[in-house]
Structure 1
Amino acid sequence: MRFRGRARSGVSHGPPAAPPAEPAGPLPALVIDALGRKCPIPIIMLADRIREVPVGEVIAVLADDAAARTDVPAWCRMKSQDFVREETLPQGGWGFHIRRTY
């Protein structure tokens, strides 16, 4: 095969590499590690520490008790806090992101 211009080297000229993955949302101002704790401890830890972050900031709760998947969003509705998202953790469990509203 013949190329015009400079000779091709052994370097691949495929599509550019993808940029590093962006976080799915704002980074949390505080992370509460409740891994290994059973219900209702993750909620108690969240309720006790949410006042440590300024209004408008995000707090993350890491939990591996399946009950937290329903408890955390329900607590947010009951306490008028914004449930931002849930993510699956690579080591197992979930990360719940909550924005403090008041």
Structure 2
Amino acid sequence: MTEHSEPGPGDRGAGGLDDGDAVIVDARETRCPMPVIMAAKAAQDLPDGARLVVLATDPAAAADLPAWCRLRGHTLLDLHLGDEVRADIRLGT
């Protein structure tokens, strides 16, 4: 499992947004609170305005990631719910 990686050019996530400029946090197969912890760790090294895409299989991430965004002043651009949770986040205000 890779914590975060850069997708290839033109990759599109489940939400339909181009992931080419996003940092991907792969929190699949982890349990609460790890998806949020992994997202926060990745966000520390990124500037305001950067995009973070968090992938998780824990259903709690569907509530935890939007709450983390509200608490930290990030913008939740898209939240896809299916076999896995996919949160597309713009860091900062």
**TM-score bucket of the superposed structures, by smaller chain:** 0.7 to 0.9
Q: Deviations over 1:81-102 (max 9, x none)?
A: 111111246xx21211110116
Q: What is the one-letter code of the residue matched to 1:101?
A: G
Q: What is the one-letter code of the residue matched to 1:93?
A: E
State the TM-score, normalized to the length of structure 1: 0.68
Q: What is the one-letter code of the residue matched to 1:25?
A: L
Gaps of 5+ in 2: 1-11
State the TM-score, normalized to the length of structure 2: 0.74
Structure of greater Rg: 1
Quick one: percent identity of the two aligned structures? 32
Cα distance in 1 for partners of 2:79, 2:58 equals 14
Bigger strand share: 2
Q: Deviations over 1:20-74 (max 9, x none)?
A: xx76334252101110100000000011111333321210010011100000000
Cα distance in 1 for partners of 2:43, 2:18 equals 16
**1:32–1:45: 8 Å Cα contact kept in structure 2?**
yes
Question: For 1:78-89, what aligned pairs fall within 5 Å after superposition?
Answer: 78-88=71-81
Cα distance in 1 for partners of 2:33, 2:66 equals 13
Cα distance in 1 for partners of 2:52, 2:18 equals 10
Cα distance in 2 for partners of 1:26, 1:52 equals 21
**2:29–2:57: 8 Å Cα contact kept in structure 1?**
yes
Identify the residue that residue 8 of structure 2 maps to in structure 1: none
User: Post-superposition, which runs of at least 4 consecutive aligned residues in structure 1 deviate over 4 A?
Assistant: none
**1:26–1:58: 8 Å Cα contact kept in structure 2?**
no
